[in-house]
Chains A and B, each alone.
Chain A
Amino acid sequence: MLSWTRAATYRAPASVANAIEKGRRFASHRVLLMLVVGLSFSTRLYKITEPPHVCWDETHFGKMGSYYINRTFFFDVHPPLGKMLIGLAGYITGYDGTFPFIKPGDKYEHHNYWGMRGFCAVLGSFLPIFAYLIVLELSQSHTAALITASLLIFDTGCISISQYILLDPILMFFIMAAVLSMVKFNQQRHRPFTAPWWLWLVLIGVNLAGALGVKFVGLFVIVLVGLNTVWDLWRLLGDLSLSLVDIAKHFLARVVGLILLPLFIYVTIFAIHFVVLNKSGPGDGFFSSAFQSRLIGNNLHNASMPEYLAYGSTITVKNLRIAGGYLHSHWHLYPEGVGARQQQVTAYLHKDYNNLWLVHRQDNNTSQSGTPDLVRHGDIIRLEHKETTRNLHSHLHEAPLTKKHFQVTGYGTNGTGDTNDLWQVEVCGGRKGDLVKVLRSKVRFLHRATGCVLYSSGKTLPKWGWEQVEVTCSPYLKETPSSQWNIEDHINPRLPNISLSVLKPHFLEILLESHIIMIRGNSGLKPKDNEMNSKPWHWPINYQGLRFSGVNETEYRVYLLGNPVIWWMNLATLGLYLIMVAVASVALQRGFSLGPKRMEHACVLMRGGGLLLLGWLLHYVPFYTMGRVLYYHHYFPAMLFNTMLTGITLDILLKSADLLLRPPYSDWLQRVGQMAFLFTVLYSFYLFHPLSYGMTGPLAHEPGSAMAGLKWMDSWEF
């Protein structure tokens, strides 16, 4: 592990004689910081309103921002904070939520879209500034900090991704702010429980909650902060001058600041989300019946329907597992080789007329007159699919995915089938003869012939099943939510409708439910076969970018691609860093006597660099294990860490020039190196700036293009 404990030894001594020097450095620090701020804001806000049409994922996040303004309920795989902020920014700047955001390329016309874009760009402008401050704090070197800041300011990828209505600038803002507060907090370790100490602690907590509230990627920075905190506590524990009470205080302070506070904020975000979005919208079907009854405009809101399940009714049956879906069937058969070739029965999350089922007696004689009979616990029924007139059926074939269970199919025509279509109704916790309450009873369906129970496994069927959820018949009779169902809609014209007040769900239940649905939604984003997928190894080498806007010659094209010079330099420096750190640590371990300057360098490399390397790893490696569809822009948080590492490494490399040359020459070499670096970055930015600020005219491989000769890799599409 990294030897952060040695840090204290090498801090710059601040004596009285240095006071004037310090003051001057403070002034120059101010100037440099202002320079970074100015450059950063000007590069991000330049041409912010171009192009005046919907670009790429603006179609999602802009739309979701509008939903907040319209208070319509929707469902997204990301937590709500980012979209809430976008909505808020739009609301403040006068956007009225009426633009439909249907597809990329739609013109904004008179709508006020610049507020939302500007908000994202402002947050994105903070990234170089935060990076500057972090590196300055870690390495105490203005050169390193400047290198980092210039790399980020002039990276076309960072500019493009900050300029549109996306979640990424917001996410990265919180990530970097959290890291900055963490670094500042570490710096305060010698003055525990003072005001700045508390301030930075609370700021870490707030920013962590913010990062997690925008995207689940925020978890990685939480892990980073968590590891740092564990290490810090471990250090404190080894400090025998502190009593156990002190350590307990430290521990509790961190629990409050880094666990309870973020949790509270995070929950509050969701509370606001649910309070604001109180109208029925496109996301209803994903949620349970109880949840839907909260939403104005949903058919379960102040619903009225027959209270007890009756024969002859048309019903929908919803699984009680969270995000369980409705019992569903459609005109498609199981493919060959998957059990019997009969009609598919699945669980489906959306509301659909194929979710409707008819309740019949086993002997098929429905009494035509008078009030229909009610279904009771222990009755044997037949469920007929309304649209296709097949019966819910099961038999001793293995289920398509869960091979231990039996297959469930639709069988028979016009309601005539065989004895395998009979199911026994069982109310959980009920006795023989109990009536089945709509919405409130938990019901199980036991298959008469095989004794198994109707079950939703939660596994997604392959393409032939339209990626709906598998329904099986489980021979294991344990009572789990997967085998319990409730009757949601209940239509029977011959019974009086009674207004039902469904139990309003508790807030924590809603929270849990929405999280499980989000996680399931995330893992459900599987790559499609016919799409070219981005692989994690593509990213650091800048293999392929993303088209933000425009495809062909006449259109205004923006292409998300990192400045290749900067990205390749980052990658090379990563290798260089590993070599340098290996050499330094072997030298230290072997006890070679190094000068104080080299010791300090080694320390910065191992401590500061180690932290950044850890951050890079945490934000990059997990993507290799993810099964969901991945995009190029997922690499950007990791790229920020990589760039900061580059700053530190290059700075130390240049400062070690005196290993090669004698003092006056080594200083020259250092200066020349810095100048060459700056020139390279600026020139490459000049070359590639049309990627972010827009290009028109012919594509790069054709003559007469502004980007002629710059298509260095065949996989770039501009």
Chain B
Amino acid sequence: MILALGAYLGGFDGNFVWNRIGAEYPSSVSVWSLRLLPALCGALCVPLVYLLTLELRFSHLSALGAALLLLLENSLIVQSRFMLLESVLIFFVLLAFFSYLRFHNTPDSSWFRYSWLLLCGASCAAAVGVKYMGVFSYLLLLGVASLHTWNLIGDQTVSVCVQCVCRFVCLLVVPVLLYVFWFYIHLSLLNRSGPHDQLMSSAFQASLQGGLSRITQGQPLEVAYGSQVTLRSSASQPIPCWLHSHKANYPIRYENGRGSSHQQQVTCYPFKDVNNWWIVKDPGSQELVVGSPPRPVRHGDVIQLVHGMTSRFLNSHDVAAPMSPHAQEVSGYINFNVSMAAQNLWRVDISNREAESEVWKTILSEVRLVHVNTSAVLKLSGVSLPDWGFRQLEVVAEKLFKGHSSSLGWTVEEHRYGISQEQKEREAELHSPTHIDVDRKISFWAKFLELQWKMLTVKQEDSEHKYSSSPLEWITMETNIAYWLHSSTNAQIHLIGNPVSWGVANLSLLAYQLLAAVYLLRRRRGFKDLPDGVWCQFVRLGCVCVGGWVVNFVPFLLMEKTLFLYHYLPALCYLYLLSPALLEHAHTHLLSNVTHRRALCVCVAAMLSSVFLSYRTFCPLTYGSPELSANQLQGLRWRDTWDILYRRR
């Protein structure tokens, strides 16, 4: 999701010049400034955790404890020292919770407290804008807020309308508006084309300066008879490909013994090539040039498509396609005189004609080419051909045609009116770049929606990575991630958490659940172990911390994409908030005996020092210095499943 990365960085802080990562890496900017922001956010998380614990109505000591746990967490340090987004996300999430609780805790009277709520909304928007993971925390916050509001509605002593509206505006409307605003900035900043253009549709690309628009700027808009066009498949995300043909025929027999028509191959080719040009021809005339005035092609018209370089007609017939035998083969027609008549008429079916127009337009119209004889539709099957087809992608005509399917659409990307009558001239013309003027823009909203959709649907290759891991392994930290290895020595940086802290975090999670279950059952039976105020505090702690852990962890169990250890870090932060608060709760409310309390204090001290010690131990892997010998590294490999790299010398 590098695309998203650029989007977010560009989104949340448009003032910094160097934030346009999505577009280009300006070479003049030094690396440290790029890394400054995540590191800064990572550092700010520590005091924020301190304040947040205070807002949860716990003492300064436990606040200090939470801050220490966060401070000495090796994985967070590593993650915030690089140009990565987790620390920024964590920062904004914590800020959102902090400001919400601040708002909730301030007495009703002051209007000033709504500024906290506003800040909360803003940081929610920022969190979601940084990474989609922020949505989980945002939803949790909304849940907590709506619970509070619900109670407020039940309180008949106050008038609630204004308050409800204020909360609604601050927590729902403002974040959405801000979120849209980030993207507005993002899109207006990134108006040059960059490495991720290909992911977007032609229309989107055309609106970026440079890139495709460098080519497409000034093309005629309406496709007419005689137009020379390249046809891009809508199905071939994320790699684009264009309808292509070349001087090579289908093999007479395939490897599995099936026969073919032995006519010219038609494929889809993922690179720009002169063989991607096709000429739109009127079946009724022999002309291959655009008349004056040009006669535009409309929805429902029947056309022929002539391959520019070889002059073969795009043809389909009842012969099984090479790789997908259930579909028809598509070929460039050659008359072998074997009673195989040309079936080269195609009907233009513009699928978005309601939104655009009946006329076939460059880039904007998405057309389906329906074979007239068999009513099959030209389609990219997505299979790549074997060596005889140069490993290009197979194009077929599909007999089954049901409803809408974007995989059937083709868009005209490059386009010009053909003027040369002779084949030789035409070839020369095809080799020259296109050049006529027309201007076109798509609206911000269309871009915004497309970008959102792409970000949600673009997948990394769903294969496994060497350092990827499954969510259940995160709890016990089964895997690590190697970030960097010095080119000659053993100095290296790994994403490894502080094992002692992880242990403490897991223990406190378990302890809280046990404690909460016991309390709940006993309260239900009428034993009130805790005064109401303390109970409220305890519940709030659970909602924020355990709830936060749950919403940031459980969704990953259902996801099918490649996951890494760093996805767990936000969930972990909630646990670090929980541990000291739980200890304080135990100290003040569970243990009445002085000796027990002392014992607890000693335990806590011991725990903190062991956290510190293990932090010290793993420091070399966190900061990449000093360099360790192979034996020392072996000693650090606390779990068999960690991959620590040794350089053999």
Interface residue ranges, A against B (CB under 8 Å): 234, 237-238, 240, 244, 336, 398, 400-404, 476, 478, 529-530, 532, 544, 586, 589-591, 625, 627, 714-715, 717
Contact = CB atoms under 8 A, between A and B. Distances in A.
A244 B525 CA distance: 9
7 contacts: A403-B464, A403-B465, A530-B326, A532-B403, A591-B154, A591-B156, A715-B403
Nearest to B468: A403
**Interface-central residue, A404, A625, A627, A714, by most chain B CB under 10 Å:** A404
A240 B382 contact: no
B368 to A, nearest CB: 14
A250 to B, nearest CB: 14
Contacts of B153: 586, 589-590
Interface in B302-337: 324, 326-327
A3 to B, nearest CB: 13
A715 B402 contact: yes
A407 to B, nearest CB: 13
Contact of A530 (B156, B324, B391, B525): B324
B642 to A, nearest CB: 12
Closest 3 CB pairs of A and B: A715-B403, A532-B402, A403-B464
A627 B403 CA distance: 22
Interface string B64-94: 0000000000000000000000000000000
A478 B150 CA distance: 54
A476 B640 contact: yes
A529 B382 contact: yes
B466 interface: yes
Contacts of A625: 558
A274 to B, nearest CB: 32
Contacts of B464: 401-404
B543 to A, nearest CB: 16
Contact of A627 (B468, B524, B560): B560
Interface string B457-482: 00000011110100000000000000
Interface in B514-563: 521, 524-526, 558, 560
A180 B464 CA distance: 47
**Interface-central residue, B153, B382, B405, B521, by most chain A CB under 10 Å:** B153
Contacts of A238: 524-525
Contact of A714 (B403, B468, B521): B403
Contact of B521 (A237, A529, A590): A237
A403 B391 CA distance: 25
Contacts of A476: 640-641
B400 interface: yes
A590 B154 contact: yes
Interface in B155-179: 156
A627 B465 CA distance: 21
A240 B524 CA distance: 9
Contacts of A478: 640
Contacts of B466: 398, 403-404
Contact of A237 (B154, B324, B391, B525): B525
Contacts of A336: 391
A121 B643 CA distance: 60
Interface residues of B, number: 29
Contacts of B468: 403
Given A234-B524, A238-B524, A589 B150 contact: yes
Interface SS, A side? loop
Contact of A590 (B156, B324, B463, B560): B156
**Interface-central residue, B324, B400, B524, B560, by most chain A CB under 10 Å:** B524
B399 to A, nearest CB: 10
Interface in B134-167: 150, 153-154, 156
A336 B324 CA distance: 20
Contacts of B327: 530
Nearest to A716: B403
Interface string B374-410: 0000000110000000010000001010110100000
**Interface-central residue, B381, B382, B464, B641, by most chain A CB under 10 Å:** B464
Given A530-B327, A717-B402, 5 more contacts: A237-B524, A240-B525, A403-B465, A478-B640, A532-B405
A402 B562 CA distance: 12
B236 to A, nearest CB: 13
A577 to B, nearest CB: 19
Nearest to A624: B558
Contacts of A244: 525
Contacts of B154: 589-591
Contacts of B150: 589
B24 to A, nearest CB: 28
A532 B525 contact: no
A401 B560 CA distance: 14
B456 to A, nearest CB: 14
A403 B466 CA distance: 5
Nearest to B156: A591
Nearest to A457: B464
B403 A544 contact: yes
A532 B400 contact: yes
Nearest to A234: B524
Contacts of B326: 530
A478 B464 CA distance: 21
B463 A401 contact: yes
Contacts of B324: 530
A336 B391 CA distance: 10
Contacts of A403: 463-466, 468
Nearest to A538: B403
A519 to B, nearest CB: 16
B151 to A, nearest CB: 9
B589 to A, nearest CB: 23
A611 B466 CA distance: 46
Nearest to A625: B558
Nearest to A715: B403
Nearest to B382: A529
A529 B235 CA distance: 12
A717 B398 CA distance: 18
Contacts of A714: 403
B329 to A, nearest CB: 15
A500 to B, nearest CB: 38
A403 B564 CA distance: 14
A625 B558 CA distance: 7
Interface string B215-252: 00000000000000000000000000000000000000
Contacts of A404: 464, 466, 643
Contacts of B560: 627
Contacts of B398: 530
A478 B153 CA distance: 59
A516 to B, nearest CB: 18
A588 B525 CA distance: 26
A478 to B, nearest CB: 8
Contacts of B463: 400-401, 403
A237 B524 CA distance: 6
Contacts of B641: 476
Contacts of A717: 402
Nearest to A590: B153
Contacts of A398: 466
A112 B145 CA distance: 64
A326 B326 CA distance: 31
Contacts of B391: 336
A636 B558 CA distance: 24
Contacts of A591: 154, 156
Nearest to A244: B525
Nearest to B151: A589
Contacts of A240: 525-526
A586 B468 CA distance: 47
A673 B398 CA distance: 49
A627 B559 CA distance: 10
Contacts of A586: 153
A403 B465 CA distance: 6
A334 to B, nearest CB: 13
A170 B381 CA distance: 39
A586 B558 CA distance: 34
